[in-house]
Structure 1
């Protein structure tokens, strides 16, 4: 046999072997920055938990990275009136416990979200009045008033459909280690080691296209460098977020792929607006004037590229009715900051806390802000907390200032502001309460898309710029690293990623 023929056959055999090896890979390993806080869809309002819920559960409708709505558990829907939406469910959909999905499960799920158990996601469920079951596979959602934002919100994890029987049996323990979750999603619960990892297993009774792999393992790795090392050494298949200092390491590695997409989120410095001295808007404006957010962005995010920016309004520029592009760039004014602090009567002998979590960029920003505030006479100390403890501490009002992010998971201006800043919102860690703002938000939901709705949301954003419950610091890119053999994974502006479609190929 000719040498060339032997080599060709060898290459063919090796190629088949490699393809077979990837086909046999049965576990997708993901490195996330944080652990989930709850597997109950209404027991949280944080992105890592939402990611988990999107694998365990399904929603009535889905939305892709191009914001196109497609059928989910519902095969069709009809807007019966301005306050009523009729849905027809797919037949034969099974929960992980073998029960068939019925309209009664949907009614139970959505009405449960309107109770005190749903406090963290109230901005999504607050206008649900009733869910009327017509038969086993059809029902009508009745709203308290017309709501232009509601339908799209059904793509959010808050509307993940639960099995009534499983939830009632679990009681208050549902979604915890004591009572694991039961959904209709492509993966079922396997294990959860808190602050370490959770594991899901493919559900063979899934109604849709089955995942190409058997197990999904998501590890929580807070340290950015460690996530990148795990990616480089093939300890994980997908890692996020990739820190700005590590972008080139991933980009220049021929074995890896970097996906970088502008996100619809805002990183901000928030104040506890009900506690002195930050209950005084003059103090909040002084801190805003003291911070050189543009300069800080260049220092902390210099490697991020042109897509990173300092937001000029809370509604990201890519969303409808944002006024961000109409606002001037933020300009540091230390003399104004000193003047406002003097007017406010703040005690500059006290030391005020800046809270943040383990994310490196946020710690870097906290240190820079600390230095800038020192230059105008404010003494601060930085407190870094683990993710779960951080969120719990914010809810308990133990902070002065804090750095956090908000992702607009539903592409509507209502959800860029409502859950974050309305008086009773579950993620309102500033505890900001402003009657004019609340009224504008309520009116915006009830107003059809058009000039009137634009004017209402313009007013709401201007109130926030004036009252300054937050200082806008950064708008992220979603930066995700993957092994080059990972296919079918697409990063969009929304950072609740979809692992269902992943497969492995050399």
Structure 2
């Protein structure tokens, strides 16, 4: 029944806890100015330029600032740059805030900004580089200590959005530092609202308020992030009073929590799309075999008919309503509705298992084949159940599907190295052309394109349209090109979209949180009532 029995088993302990929750939620929090948050995904690195994944970015946002910030609703707002402007079609100018200090008391200067923009390209062993956000810049200079000018090789309207992803570090602290120096705290000198105290890998991160912070003063003297990747223990920790707030609330328990007077929920439609990336490279794919376990001489996932069959095998409505407990919207696009570049003309693929079988037969696989599905088990809402549900769908059309899910810290590295044939990924972006460039652009280390293109999809027409979109300073023309590129790529089944997920936070009574479209959990946006 689409993983319902699995879900019931997985959360059986929570049902019992919820039944008693009125008495278990702590009525007295930790010290009034302390905040304890349960995180759903591990933070693998504190180096803000090393691995471009959401858990690391969210944590880095407490310690560092970017030139351009993003509001809870996904709008660009001033960060370290108080203003910016296009001087001409290929030159952007950013004015830095005056008086901003790093945690060590030194001034944030234009020199630090230029160093930070250069640093991602120097981290040659990054498993998820930030270079796609800086490769467009071909020239940079400090006009004075508070003004920088950046030059692009061609007109490039989205540069401010790119720079919302590049954290500014202290050149003095980071110039000779390794990523491990950041993890130890030695090089962790930022200008963000909190300062580093302790990083206990896989367990917790402790921060203290930055009394020199230039922005709104955080309400909390101390913040402790606890890594609790399993849903049941994370919710149990909230109900027992061991943490004050949690992210990624188990979908099966949201209805009950809404009726709990000692718990408050905040929810928002997320920018994140969950999808499958299928290995389209010309090789013997590592986890595709015949049903006896013998590797196939040709990779069937290269055939568009096979990829389309896999898409038709998915009952997205059932997955959204049952596996996701109604907290998902079936997807037809790479970016969520309301996001720049979303193409409303693309419709959700209809569930058609018989049509899927016919496509497999046409592709030369009338009896199917065997395929192992890989995904994380501690990153996205119900990610383990999503993979298991997908296996059930594929088994119904003759693809003998196995499941292997891994902790995020292991999964991303293996997926990036091309060790899987079918990989689950979630991606959030504020622009469709940005997502296409990173996820489906022809991989090119020189330009940073395709840095997360695990399936090795390549279509020069798509690349050209994305380039046209990114080069346009006219929003209407830019969005039209992005929509056209998305239509072609999705028509190729370059990836197989599943759904857009909802984001939910739960917290003890007396707390409020400004829910974010980007799903990030920021301690400085929690406020006591």
- The TM-score normalised by the length of structure 1 is 0.88
1:327 deviates by 2.7
- Whether 1:500 and 2:508 are equivalent positions in the alignment is no
In structure 2, the partner of 1:392 is 413
1:491 deviates by 0.3
Determine the C-alpha separation between the residues in 1 that align with 2:384 and 2:192: 36
- Whether 1:417 and 2:419 are equivalent positions in the alignment is no
1:502 deviates by 2.8
Cα 1:245/1:136, change in 2 over 3 Å: same
Contact 1:39-1:53 at 8 Å conserved across structures: yes
- Whether 1:317 and 2:341 are equivalent positions in the alignment is no
Between stretches 461-470 and 169-178, larger displacement belongs to 169-178
The CA RMSD over aligned residues, in Å, is 2.2
In structure 2, the partner of 1:355 is 374
**Per-residue deviation, residues 256-275 of structure 1 (Å, max 9, x unmatched):** 11111111111112212214
1:38 deviates by 1.8
Determine the C-alpha separation between the residues in 1 that align with 2:213 and 2:65: 10
- Whether 1:56 and 2:63 are equivalent positions in the alignment is yes
Alignment partner for residue 31 of structure 1, among 30, 38, 45?
38
Contact 2:323-2:389 at 8 Å conserved across structures: no
In structure 2, the partner of 1:302 is 325
In structure 2, the partner of 1:472 is 497
Cα 1:93/1:178, change in 2 over 3 Å: closer
Determine helix, strand or coil for the equivalent of 1:42. Answer: coil
Determine the C-alpha separation between the residues in 2 that align with 1:348 and 1:366: 22
Contact 2:97-2:146 at 8 Å conserved across structures: yes
Alignment partner for residue 136 of structure 2, among 127, 130, 133?
127
Determine helix, strand or coil for the equivalent of 2:275. Answer: strand
Between stretches 380-389 and 110-119, larger displacement belongs to 110-119
Contact 2:198-2:207 at 8 Å conserved across structures: yes
What does residue range 325-340 of structure 1 map to in structure 2 within 5 Å? 325-340=344-359
Determine the C-alpha separation between the residues in 2 that align with 1:348 and 1:383: 23
Contact 1:414-1:444 at 8 Å conserved across structures: yes
Cα 1:340/1:38, change in 2 over 3 Å: same
In structure 1, the partner of 2:23 is none
What does residue range 140-179 of structure 1 map to in structure 2 within 5 Å? 140-156=149-165, 159-171=166-178, 173-177=180-184, 179=186
Determine the C-alpha separation between the residues in 1 that align with 2:176 and 2:105: 15
Determine helix, strand or coil for the equivalent of 2:455. Answer: coil
Determine the C-alpha separation between the residues in 2 that align with 1:115 and 1:58: 20
Contact 1:247-1:303 at 8 Å conserved across structures: no
Between stretches 420-429 and 496-505, larger displacement belongs to 496-505
Determine the C-alpha separation between the residues in 1 that align with 2:187 and 2:408: 21
Determine helix, strand or coil for the equivalent of 1:104. Answer: helix
Q: Runs of 5+ in structure 2 lacking a partner? A: 1-27, 286-298, 444-449
Cα 1:379/1:179, change in 2 over 3 Å: farther
Determine the C-alpha separation between the residues in 1 that align with 2:150 and 2:226: 37
Alignment partner for residue 507 of structure 2, among 474, 482, 488?
482
Determine helix, strand or coil for the equivalent of 2:489. Answer: helix
Determine the C-alpha separation between the residues in 2 that align with 1:22 and 1:374: 49
In structure 1, the partner of 2:274 is 267
In structure 1, the partner of 2:363 is 344
Determine the C-alpha separation between the residues in 2 that align with 1:218 and 1:23: 14
Q: Runs of 5+ in structure 1 lacking a partner? A: 1-20
Cα 1:244/1:468, change in 2 over 3 Å: same
Cα 1:352/1:66, change in 2 over 3 Å: closer
Between stretches 47-56 and 192-201, larger displacement belongs to 192-201
Determine the C-alpha separation between the residues in 1 that align with 2:122 and 2:477: 32
Contact 2:514-2:526 at 8 Å conserved across structures: no
Determine helix, strand or coil for the equivalent of 2:175. Answer: helix
- Whether 1:97 and 2:104 are equivalent positions in the alignment is yes
1:346 deviates by 4.6
Contact 2:50-2:179 at 8 Å conserved across structures: no
- Whether 1:444 and 2:474 are equivalent positions in the alignment is no
Cα 1:175/1:278, change in 2 over 3 Å: farther
Contact 1:58-1:184 at 8 Å conserved across structures: yes
Determine the C-alpha separation between the residues in 2 that align with 1:150 and 1:299: 40
In structure 1, the partner of 2:307 is 284
